[in-house]
Amino acid sequence: MVTIIIGHGIKLKGMTLKNKVFANGRIHGSANPDDTYETGYVAYTASPFDIKFYKEIEEGVQYHVQEFVHKGYLPISSCEGHYYDKQNMNWYIMLAFGGDDIQGRMYSVIKAMQDVPGINFEIREQVNNTNESIGKVVGIQDKKQEVEYMNNLFLKNYDDYRYLYISLFKKSNWLTRKLLLNYSKNKLLQIIKKDIADERIN
């Protein structure tokens, strides 16, 4: 389960960064640099309209997120992948979709990317929330509050949101991932640049 801290009353201008950049290259809001989903990993959402947004994105996924944002997509979470010691946190980006024909637009992205080796897609109705005051997962929040938060984050006025989770080698063995991860990342980046629809009209 992806854990995302949803803050309240976010101010997009001059927003203070809450995630931390750790020495191992990871960027998240947990207490320990090597935290996993099982040991209390959390990460704060950031608006792509904030001038410090890219300081919140790990290097190994930054170009992909940048191209999504350039085309008008709304990223809410991402990870460059961490596979050392006991960690197995796969590469992923999660996008929010609101407005008209959400399902059709999601499936258009899936169709364009479906042949990338190691690709995996999940469509989610809501995202997991974390209580910022106690730093613990508290489960799915009220849908109305979630929509209000996303509208505030993305400067939109949608009635609903759904989420597309795009990952690489989530269920693959280490050898397959090692051999193909960079190839798949490069192929996926080219698809984002050239083949997926421009979302700026939505």
**Mean per-residue pLDDT over the chain, rounded:** 83
SS3 138: strand
Q: Which residue is listed with tokens 């080219």?
A: 190
Q: Is 110 left (phi over 0), alpha (psi -120 to 50) or beta?
A: alpha
Higher-scoring residue by pLDDT: 85, 115 = 115
Under 8 Å CB-to-CB from 158, ≥6 apart: which residues? 98, 99, 147, 150, 151
Confidence tier at 161 by pLDDT (50, 70, 90)? very high
Indicate if the pLDDT at residue 42 is higher than 50.
Answer: yes
Confidence tier at 162 by pLDDT (50, 70, 90)? very high
Q: Structural domain boundaries of the chain?
A: 3-194
Higher-scoring residue by pLDDT: 146, 128 = 146
Gap between the Cα atoms of 15 and 6, Å rounded: 14
Q: Which residues pair with 127 in a beta bridge?
A: none
At 28, list the tokens: 């998240």
Contacts 24+ apart (CB under 8 A), 32-36: 34/85, 34/87, 36/86, 36/87, 36/88, 36/89
Indicate if the pLDDT at residue 116 is higher than 50.
Answer: yes
Give the pLDDT of residue 22.
86
Least confident of 40-44, 48-52, 63-67, 92-96: 40-44
H or E stretch covering 85: none
For the segment 18-42, the average pLDDT, to the nearest whole number, is 79
For the segment 33-52, the average pLDDT, to the nearest whole number, is 80
